[in-house]
Structure 1
Amino acid sequence: MNTRLKTIDLARGASVFIMILVHTLWMYSSTTLQSESLFGAVIHILGKGTASFLVAMGLSLALSRRQTPMLLIKRGIQLLLLAYLMNAAKFWLPIEVFNTMPEAFINAYGWQSPLSAGQLQFMVLTGDILQLAGVSLVLFGALNIARWKTTWIACLAVAIALVSQFVRGQQFALSPYISDLFFANNYQVYFPVFPWISAILTGYVLGRLYINSQHNAAYLFSVCAKLGAALLVIGSAWLFIDFNGQFGNFFHLNGGGIIYLIGLNLCALALIEYAIANKFNGPITRALLYASKHVTALYIIQWVLICWFMGVFGYHTQSLWPTLCLMVLMSLLTFAVHKVYLQAKQTILAIKQKPKRIA
């Protein structure tokens, strides 16, 4: 594996571990620990690495040989199906089948048990990062973006970032839910296409530049450092002028917020390349590379486990030390369940491939 791929994989693998910490904090920790402690602040800051995952997604996509419109659309639809199946497992099963979801979690929506069909549908249709990835791939395929000039893609990324605040919450001729997937200002959709796809497009542009430089990793991460620094300065200045309008709602950012995050995470990628990627090859590195390789499955497993175990540990009830223990537990369980899943998958494939004995 070359250094560039290792750097991107390390960043993506780190995002897997960080999301487990963040989601554990969100679901189990008391509101005081989340909002009024240094620990909660640090975990929330780490959670801002979402843009790094999306940049890595775009970069990897640019390097992929599977960029035909139909393959991209097919993969996007598969991700969307997985996303909604995950939601059903997260919410519908513990509420309707297991009857273990804490009432406090239901009350957080302003509801009371038993839930109506419409309320359950609202939960199952929750838009998370998998929905963003799925819709983005469908758009990439529909626009046949692989045939676009690099400059056009860069301009599209900038345009989407800048226009986001003007289309936030808009409802067009589409259904309200589909409109929300693109322009949401509510918490049924946490990662709307506007502006988050700008991070994916930025990664795609970087992938193109890397290819055009004859796979020169030094050039790629030099661009990451310089572009990241420039975007960080622009974004920081914009946030200084209008922090609440641009970054007040992390999930529904506007132009200044997404520019700042992309810049911050490009600088982080450059830092990983220069300071970490070539210096460590121990168990932590191997764990990060493993997580990067299986990011989608691990994402689904950790969310389902965290939601299921709310029936045991409660919702927004835990203090610092129990939260730390739960972070370790959820991480170990996630990888253990994934290991069992891989072994079961291999066993099934072996059975299918085993030649049948001729009578």
Structure 2
Amino acid sequence: MNTYPAEVDIMEKNLAQGESKRIFYLDFARGLAVFFMIMQHSMIMHERTSGGGDTLLGNLFVLLGTAPAAPVFIFIMGGFAVRSKKSVAENMIRGCKIFAFGYVLNLLRFTIPFSLAGNTGEAVPLLFMVDIFQLAGLSLIFFSAFKKIAEHAFILPAFIVGILLISPYLWGVKSDLYIFDPLWGAGANNQFPIFPWEVYFLLGM
């Protein structure tokens, strides 16, 4: 059977896409979400605090980096987690690394600078801030633990509904123990607790 050059090109492209297992529009959306979250943090931490970032463009970055960016990022992460061929152990290790990286980032961007500036009162609480990395890491850990049972038709919707129903009762729960902050709470430094943000990861699955 003769194969024309154009057909060869198409076959090679399809093969390359199959091997890379990437979905362009999801990667693009995730990239935009990351970009806007970075810009949002920059505006809040530097521009707006110095009084020079309260502009239309600055507020636009803050808006896009807050409301749509984080849900989109976690939603897409859930979709990629389902398609992943990694083992349960590999996913759990990766989740632990992402979770730990969130605190390393807090140390570098908050605790050390605040300590050097003499503001030790905020240095320690900010070390335990729950940001997007803690949420992403815990989501991947929980997904790995419950992946098998989540394959049943009614289990995943039940988890989603359960989280939505339980979360309002946990938002006001405060504890002096920082270990509970990634799970629930409404503290100023608790940006992305599992309840209710885990819902977006599950919806992506």
After TM superposition, is the score higher than 0.5?
yes
> Is 1:147 paired with 2:146?
no
List runs of 5+ in structure 1 lacking aligned partners: 102-112, 205-359
1:114 to 1:4, Cα distance in 2 relative to 1, 3 A? closer
* Secondary structure at 1:197 match in 2: helix
Higher relative contact order (CA closer than 8 Å, sequence separation 6+): 1
Q: How does 1:203-282 map onto structure 2 within 5 Å? A: 203-204=204-205
Contact persistence 1:136–1:193 (CA under 8 A): yes
**Other-structure match for 2:12:** none
1:40 to 1:150, Cα distance in 2 relative to 1, 3 A? farther
List runs of 5+ in structure 2 lacking aligned partners: 1-16
* Secondary structure at 1:183 match in 2: coil
**Other-structure match for 1:86:** 105
Contact persistence 2:39–2:62 (CA under 8 A): no
Shift of 1:34: 6.1
1:201 to 1:67, Cα distance in 2 relative to 1, 3 A? farther
> Is 1:54 paired with 2:54?
no
1:114 to 1:197, Cα distance in 2 relative to 1, 3 A? closer
**Other-structure match for 2:13:** none
* Secondary structure at 1:184 match in 2: coil
**Other-structure match for 2:184:** 183
Contact persistence 1:80–1:130 (CA under 8 A): yes
**Other-structure match for 2:203:** 202
Contact persistence 1:170–1:179 (CA under 8 A): no
Q: Deviations over 1:201-222 (max 9, x none)?
A: 0001xxxxxxxxxxxxxxxxxx
1:115 to 1:18, Cα distance in 2 relative to 1, 3 A? same
Distance in 1 (CA, whole Å) between partners of 2:153 and 2:104 is: 35
**Other-structure match for 2:93:** 74
| TM-score in terms of structure 1 length | 0.46
> Is 1:160 paired with 2:179?
no
**Other-structure match for 1:285:** none
1:141 to 1:184, Cα distance in 2 relative to 1, 3 A? same
Distance in 2 (CA, whole Å) between partners of 1:136 and 1:178 is: 16
CA RMSD of aligned residues (A): 2.5
Specify the code of the residue in structure 1 equivalent to 2:196: P
Shift of 1:126: 1.2
Give the percent of matched residue pairs that are identical in Structure 1 and Structure 2: 28
* Secondary structure at 1:59 match in 2: helix
1:165 to 1:25, Cα distance in 2 relative to 1, 3 A? same
**Other-structure match for 1:63:** 83
Shift of 1:39: 3.0
Contact persistence 1:67–1:146 (CA under 8 A): no
Match of 1:128 among 101, 124, 131: 131
* Secondary structure at 2:188 match in 1: coil
Specify the code of the residue in structure 1 equivalent to 2:71: A
Q: Deviations over 1:25-76 (max 9, x none)?
A: 10122366666x53344223312221110110000000001142x2232122
